[in-house]
Amino acid sequence: MQKIIAGNWKMNGSQALAEALASGVASFCARSGVKGEVILCPPSILLTTVGKRLQGSFVALGGQDVSAQESGAYTGDISALMLKEAGCRYTIIGHSERRQLHAETDAQVAAKAQASLKQGLKPIICVGETLSEREAGRANAVVASQLAGSVPAGTKAGDFVLAYEPVWAIGSGKVPSGADIADMHAHIKSLVTGANVLYGGSVKADNAREIMRIAGVDGVLVGGASLVLDEFCGIIAASEE
């Protein structure tokens, strides 16, 4: 199966960086004949800029979050229709930074996933344990409970993508062992049959190949390294090998 490589820029970038990164990724993918699914998720104010640079390329655009509501008095929020009109095909939902810093619950994550699906956007639903949960031997239980609450009822595995992102591996330079990643991906796939499961957390060009060779890893969700053109292109290249 072709891998899925998603870049989550988080609250980083500028118009100039967005133009440079998007053009660079699009031309790298065209030049190297990449077959996997490559997705860029810039801050929403940069979606149009990135979208323009991706025109004519198969690189997809995604939002980093979405409102569960269709429209109305929700200051600061962005609807799935707005993301779709901006050219998005994906939304990242339930990232641990949203869960922790914005107190998002599993139920809200599921509602955001539903709102995305209604507009034909594919949600990338994130789950993952904290370090203390892992150390307490609760990683599998925590992820099972997040999945049970966050995957909307009545959907089938092809409607969404899952991302396993251990909170302690995000932005830390720490990556779980290959055995731990394989175990968790097998656990997730046993609970959500047929789902594509990405790994996220300190993925770089120099560990991407090894991570994507682990059984059950269908691609990667990349934060920091997606902001550096050579790093991100290195990760895309690793996915093709």
Output the smallest distance, CB 115 to ligand PGA, in A: 21
Q: Which is nearer to ligand PGA, 9 or 28 (by Cβ)?
A: 9
**Residues recorded for the chain:** 241
Q: What is the DSSP letter of 69?
A: S
Cα gap 152→144, rounded to integer Å: 14
Output the smallest distance, CB 222 to ligand PGA, in A: 5
Cβ-count burial of 176 within 10 angstroms (0-12 exposed, 13-18 middle, 19+ buried)? buried
Q: Which is nearer to ligand PGA, 94 or 224 (by Cβ)?
A: 224
Known catalytic residue at 95:
yes
Binding site for ligand PGA (CB under 6 A): 8, 165, 170-171, 200-203, 221-225
Q: Which is nearer to ligand PGA, 99 or 118 (by Cβ)?
A: 99
Assess contact for 81 and 70: CB atoms under 8 A: yes
Determine the distance from the C-alpha atom of residue 94 to the mean position of all C-alpha atoms in its chain, rounded to a whole number.
10
Show the tokens assigned to 37. 């699914």
Contacts of 184 (CB under 8 A, 6+ apart): 139, 140, 143, 164, 166, 176
User: Of these residues, 95, 129, 133, 187, which one is catalytic?
Assistant: 95
Known catalytic residue at 165:
yes
Output the smallest distance, CB 41 to ligand PGA, in A: 9
Output the smallest distance, CB 175 to ligand PGA, in A: 9
Residue nearest to ligand PGA (CB): 223
Assess contact for 3 and 208: CB atoms under 8 A: no
The single residue listed with the structure tokens 């990232």 is 95
Output the smallest distance, CB 73 to ligand PGA, in A: 30
Q: Which is nearer to ligand PGA, 62 or 152 (by Cβ)?
A: 62
CA distance readout (Å), 25 to 87, 89, 105, 207, 227: 17, 17, 34, 19, 11
Residues forming beta bridges with residue 161, ordered by sequence position: 124, 196
End-to-end CA gap in the chain: 12
Q: Which is nearer to ligand PGA, 120 or 171 (by Cβ)?
A: 171
User: Of these residues, 165, 185, 187, 231, which one is catalytic?
Assistant: 165
Query: Which amino acids are annotated catalytic?
Result: 95, 165
